[in-house]
Structure formats: C-alpha cells, structure tokens
Amino acid sequence: MKRNSKVVLGTPVLLITSLLCFVMAPVASASMSTQLFFDDFDGTALDTSRWSIFVDSNGEYGWPQVAGGFLRLQGYHTRIDSIPGFPAPETGQSVTASARIRLAGEYHQFGFGVNPNERAGPINGYYFDTLSPAEGGGGGREGYVRALAWSNPSFGVDPAGTALIPLLDVEIPVTWYEFHEFAVERTPSEVIYSIGDLIGDSIVYREVARVADAFGGALPVCVWNARWDLMLTDWVEVSQIPEPATLLLLGMGSLALLRKRKAV
C-alpha cells in the first residue's frame, strides 16, 4: 500500500468505548503540512541524488536494492542516509521522519542520526531499533522494537560507543513480519516516537516514548539494517507541520494521531 506524496489529515471521528472518553485537540489542515523529503522507492535502483549508501568494509554486505516498490536492505551493515539533513525545528514547528517498514530481524533501524557513535560529533541520534537489551547487546527480541536516543559529545567517530551518553531506551511491543508506520517527531524541546497502524482507511498513531531534545544541529533520516534478515521499506517521508498536530487524546493519557490515507 503506497502513500500519497502529500499527507492528508483526517476529519475527526467519534471513537466509542465503554471505558474511555476522548478530548479532541485543534485540527491542523493538510495544507499546513510542508513535505521536506519523500521517496516511495518506485524505481529499479536507489536514487543516489537523495541517499548516501554505506556498506561494511569487510565485504560481508548486501547492496541496497529497490524492487517491486520497496527498498530491500539485507546484509551486514547495509544502510542509507538522506543526503539532506534536517535541523531542529523553530518555535511553533515540528519536523517528523516517518516510514512504512516491515521488521523481520535484529538491528533494523529507522530515524534521525542512527548510531551516532559512527558519526563525527557532537551529534545526537533518535531512532527505532530491533536490537534487544535482553541479548546482552546483540540479537533481536522478536515482537519488540526499542525507542533509542543517544548523545555523542565527541568531535570524532567513536566506533565502540564508549563516549555515548544514553538519553532514552524504551522497549515497545510491535508485531514483526507485517508493515507498520514508524514516526520520530522533533519539536523545539523534545522528540516524540510513535507507531501507526491501519484502521479502516486511516492510520492511527500511538505515542510510545518521548525524550527532551537539546540538540540544535541538522540530522539525516536513516534506514539501516546491520544483519541478514530482510528489511522492507515501502516509503520514507520527512515533513514539517505547525504544532499542535491533529491529536486524539484517548482516556488514560494515551495518544493517537489520525491521518487519512488512500490505497493505490
């Protein structure tokens, strides 16, 4: 299911349950959203005017493939970064990286500045990762993904990650081997992680984590797979929108972002 290149925010709908009531925040118009970056991988090769490609130097890699409308990452440290970087938003704005991804193994990663220890600092990283802490720093825990945030205050690359400062590590249940939408939103003061699922013809996002953001620099949006289980990505988008977005507050403080989408 492909996404329109423009996001259309849904009209409010009434969600009725016997246990929960809701409060509707102000509705943002679709015309208020500005698309900064988009790729739906509809060609036969990766668009290298949009993406930088990184593969492991020891030869145990698989080159990024585009086929059947999907980005296919499979190999040892097979990863791509957007060529443009996206700075922290100004007051009253947010910048969101989102993607529709099928997770299927360990080290499947998406977000801003993935693995900041592999980049020249100072830099922060805000991303999803299927690496499991239960595996002692390796392996993936099927049925889960982690929301991670790290700060690399060093001016050099730190492959061992010894200088990294942990900012966030939250493990979230999510089904593997089917597509979900993952979103990392940077506001002027914090980063919000959400996961979206298709309900009818709309995607409903649930917030799963958030962390304070004091990093003002630009960050690329990244799709990385460091192992051999096939990671499929349908599309990647970066958009800017005034705050607040269209929010449904569903009892108990849980959060969903309702967006209309159209099947192609």
How many Å apart are CA 149 and CA 166, to the nearest integer? 6
Spatial CB neighbours of 230, under 8 Å, sequence gap ≥ 6: 72, 73, 74, 104, 105
Give mean pLDDT in consecutive 10-residue pieces for the chain, a chain of 264 residues: 46 34 38 89 95 72 88 87 94 94 94 93 96 60 93 90 93 95 96 92 92 94 92 97 55 36 34
pLDDT at 2: 63
pLDDT at 138: 55
Spatial CB neighbours of 162, under 8 Å, sequence gap ≥ 6: none
Spatial CB neighbours of 189, under 8 Å, sequence gap ≥ 6: 212, 213
- For tokens 């309702």, what's the residue? 258
pLDDT at 227: 84
DSSP 66-96: EETTEEEE-STTEEEEESS-BPPPPTTEEEE
pLDDT at 61: 61
- From the list 231, 255, 224, 246, the residue with the least C-alpha distance to 7 is 246
How many Å apart are CA 144 and CA 172, to the nearest integer? 5
- For tokens 């108990």, what's the residue? 252
191 by DSSP, 3-state: which? strand
pLDDT at 47: 96
pLDDT at 76: 76
Between the CA atoms of 121, 106, 230 and 79, what dihedral angle is there, to the nearest 10 degrees? 10
How many Å apart are CA 154 and CA 164, to the nearest integer? 8
Structure tokens at 197: 């699922």
Q: Are 246 and 260 in contact (CB under 8 A)?
A: no
What's phi and psi for 133, nearest 5 deg? -65, -20
The one-letter code for the residue type at 217 is G
Q: What domains are there in the chain, each with its CATH number?
A: 37-243 (2.60.120.200)
Which residues pair with residue 80 across a beta bridge? 53, 223
pLDDT at 40: 97
The C-alpha R_g of the chain, in whole angstroms, comes to 18
